[in-house]
Structure 1
Amino acid sequence: MDDKLTAIVLTRFPLDAGEGFDEHVHDHHQLAWVRDGVLTVTVGDRNWVLPPSLALWIPAGVPHTSTAGRTAATMQGIYLPSEMRAEWTAPTVVGVTPLLRELIDFLGDAEAPGPARTKAEALIPDLLAPAQTFTVSVPMPHDARAVRIARELLLDPGDARDLGEWGRHVGASTRTLSRIFAAETGLGFTQWRSRLRLRASLAYLADGESVGTTAMLVGFGSTSAFIAAFSELVGVTPGAYFARVAQLADQRHELAD
């Protein structure tokens, strides 16, 4: 890509389930969005789960990973000149309105520079409005034994082994592992695992899975326990949160009319 980017550049990336890009950076701002499916973007300990109604503004130079959810997805990489939204120096979630989607489609199909393309590009910054969402931060441990546990739980958050069983698995005492998780993540193991499970639940819920099935898949003992944990962290129930996310684009479109 040209280091002196002066126009919006778009690239589509078809992704299989679970496929994505390891940590990388861009020289230009990026708007990460999926036309279909679900995209997870991670920056450090922060994690965003994006259905098609949401996109993430990633400032130039910010290391990040991007991964499709449980099903195939079509990621749209939208690269923007440095003068666009230069005041946004941190990752920012935006709502994807029907108008913004139409403009992205137009720019993707426009083969050559011209007055129409210039006008379309000029509209983009005005349509990028922050959307109220939340992230689930899951600090990762550094000790090799705890890292092994974390990696296995990331692959299967529903794994029900307690800390004693994990200790026998990785060759450490319960007390040692408890001390490691508290010192390196700031959370007790049970609290840390609950946080990881809640983060994993976002991808299932964003992909249309029911609350009850999601609770089971990520390892909560009951739907009510899952709803209680989610509500305590987010402030609303899973159903209320994702109903609000699904309505974001249409609401912003109505406000713009």
Structure 2
Amino acid sequence: MDRSQEHREPGERVQTFESHGAHPKRSRQNCESQFCKVENLSRLEYNCVEMSSDAEARLLARCRQGEPDAWNELFDAHYSATARFVFQLGADFSREDVEEICQEAFLSVIRNLASFQGASQFQTWLFRIAANKARDFCERQRAAKRGGGQAPLSLQAEDPENGLTLDPPSSAPGPDAQLMNAERMAGVRHALDQLGEPCREIIELRYFADLSYDEIAATLQLNPKTVSSRLSKCLDRLEALARPILAREKSTPFSV
């Protein structure tokens, strides 16, 4: 059985893809082919197919109309970048974990594409869905292990250009440390959600997708200097929102 179906009703995944004109078998093959030459997921390059805003808008319109080839094109264009993004979120995601989370994310895109209004870049919207699916996956893992699963989300340890430091999970945390990390990152996520869309978008691209300033500039169609300035201001806002949460967690003993 496909691991992405383990937490779904029988046949749900196939019905969802077919009802929108996409082909699950082909999508699964594409998913596997993205990894066939990658020995270590950390080496997976950011190789999203470059597409102009107009071209992507046309592709999304075709997806909304239910064209099978359009869904496959969208999958091919964004799968590798999404897989790399998901891999960086988890402390110890396996290849199979990443595949499952990515497939759940794309299923959610199929179900909810009508709600995407273009307020942000499509890729940013997709990454946010993937982050939520990764968090859900980790919560299931923790529940299955009765508190001993993987830490759900982690930002890069430090941005040397802006000085924001958020300690990542230790390489071998015990159950208490893992739960504390989960609480801590949930707090950071809550602070992110309080930011406006421009700040949340640029921080997610920098820390979750691990894009360079030039890549962010290309994605958001901004000047790299504007990216640097905006990111610095947004990090200040995030730090102000997150500091009380992090300070409270440092001063409060954690118990289960």
TM range (shorter): under 0.3
TM-score (norm 1): 0.26
Greater strand proportion: 1
Greater radius of gyration (CA): 1
Greater helix proportion: 2
